[in-house]
Amino acid sequence: MHRRPERQNIEIVLYNNHLQRLRNMKATVDNSTPKTHPFNNRRQKEIARNNKRIDDENCLLLENIAKTIQKPTIQNKLGSHVYTQVRFKKKLSHIKKRLHAAQIMDANLRLLDRIQKVPPVYDHIQWEYDEKQRQKILKNMSLYPEKYT
């Protein structure tokens, strides 16, 4: 600021005007969405129309395939040997599952037998004796706390 008193008020006004211009300043880079041109819309409609036509043709083809499969013909009829083979495979898989379950059950029974034959490691009588000793010590500690602090 200048030392002259008549210039003080003018500089304050100029500074406030500067702040006002900064607040009202517009961006120099345009971040808004680009303008849409009418021919883009026409192209999108054409693409949508083409996709709908393709979907309709696909639906017709699928309907025709479904109708053809439902009718028994020479090309899509399976022979009796195929059904026999399918039943045989089902029976084999059932037998395999049953044998696997029997093996698991046998292994479980052997494991249970081994577990039951193992002698116990822990002595519950010794545990009870130790617990009585702990209770006795705890009782003494609560009666004579000055000895244990």
Encoded tokens for 148: 């244990």
> Rounded to an integer, what distance in angstroms lies between the CA atom of residue 42 and that of residue 57?
23
- Both 61 and 89 in a single domain? no
pLDDT greater at residue 132 or residue 36: 132
Quick one: pLDDT at residue 4? Answer: 67
65 plus 89 within the same structural domain: no
Q: Give the total number of structural domains in the chain.
A: 3
- Has residue 26 been placed in a domain? no
Residue 20 has pLDDT above 70, yes or no: yes
| Residue 129 and residue 109 share a domain | no
DSSP string, 29-87: S--SPPPPPHHHHHHHHHHHHHHHHHHHHHHHHHHHHHHHHHS--TTTPPPHHHHHHHH
Report if residue 32 sits inside a domain.
no
Task: Let me know if residue 67 belongs to a domain.
Answer: yes
Residue 29 inside a domain? The answer is: no
- Domain span holding position 132: 124-149
For residue 3, the model assigns a pLDDT of 64
- Res 73: pLDDT: 72
pLDDT digits (tens, 9 = 90+) for 98-119: 999 999 999 999 999 999 999 8
- φ/ψ of 79, rounded to 5, equals -75, 165
Q: Is 5 within a domain?
A: no
DSSP state of 146: G
Report if residue 139 sits inside a domain. Answer: yes
- d(C-alpha 65, C-alpha 73), whole Å: 13
Assign 32 a pLDDT band (cuts: 50, 70, 90): confident
User: Which pLDDT band holds residue 97 (cuts at 50, 70, 90)?
Assistant: very high
How many angstroms separate the most distant Cα atoms in the chain? 116
Residue 75's pLDDT is: 66
